Amino acid sequence: MASLLYVCVRPEIGAADAEHASFRRALGVDVVDRLDLLETPLHPERLRGYRGVVVGGSPFNVSDPVKSADQLRVEADLRTLAHAAIAGELAVFFTCFSIGVVTRMLGGEVVTDTPEPASATVITTTEEGATDPVFGPSGSALTVFTAHKESAARTPSGAVLLATNEVCPVQAYRVGTHLYAAQFHPEPTPRDFADRMTFYRTTGYFDPDEFDAVQQQVLAASVTEGAALLRRFAETFG
């Protein structure tokens, strides 16, 4: 049994398989176990033996006006994970959609007026981020991949803001010592992210008529610090 677990919340199997591989490579370990929440509900005993968990992205949005039973259950399972991390039972790195779940759980507001299209973006670390064991060594600015329709309006109560930018002020935060949440995608290489775009060509993350141009911009980006964050997460908690 591995000490790290990848939690999948993507319904697209091909995208999920590729994301799992991206996380494994970025974490710098040979084996990362996998739990697909859309297929298998989370039971607390399933987490026993793991020291660290990474949660992948999803086309779900917590602001969706209508949610399927599967999405409601997935959100409940992610809240269970967040409570375990806050209690220090294991460390969890939430990404993309799941930062919205955690934000609402903490009483924060999730809004749709600070979206970022599929692209590489620069984020800056805060004073607290500069001293964080995962974010601090990356320096004052890092380039990461992002694609989202919603985000936290502000840092929720009890959380410490780690990274920000002008477009989306809440890029990453920490709660206690074991819960990390990021709006961006730390795991993909440019090739990974470009390939992932093919699964979401018509889902609103970019203009489908501009697919080739956006993909070329993604492939030309220099993005390495996201993976460095995950490696340090694995070294600290794995």
Please write the tens of the pLDDT for every residue from 12-53. Answer: 999 999 999 999 999 999 999 999 999 999 998 899 999 999
| C-alpha to C-alpha distances, 143 to 50, 96, 124, 164, 198, nearest whole angstrom | 29, 16, 9, 12, 22
| Stretch 116-123: mean pLDDT | 96
pLDDT of residue 238: 79
Rg (CA), the chain: 16
150 Cα distance to chain centroid: 13
- Name, in order, each residue with C-beta under 8 angstroms of 65's C-beta and a sequence gap of 6 or more: none
At position 116, the amino acid (one-letter code) is: E
Domain harbouring 68, CATH code: 3.40.50.880
* pLDDT of 1 strictly over 60: no
pTM, two decimals, is 0.97
Count of domains forming the chain: 1
Secondary structure E strands in 101-157: 110-111, 116-125, 141-148, 151-152
Residue 30 is part of which domain span? 4-237
pLDDT tens for each residue of 157-184? 999 999 999 999 999 999 999 999 999 9
- Residue type at position 84: A
CA 156, 227, 141, 201 torsion-angle sign: negative
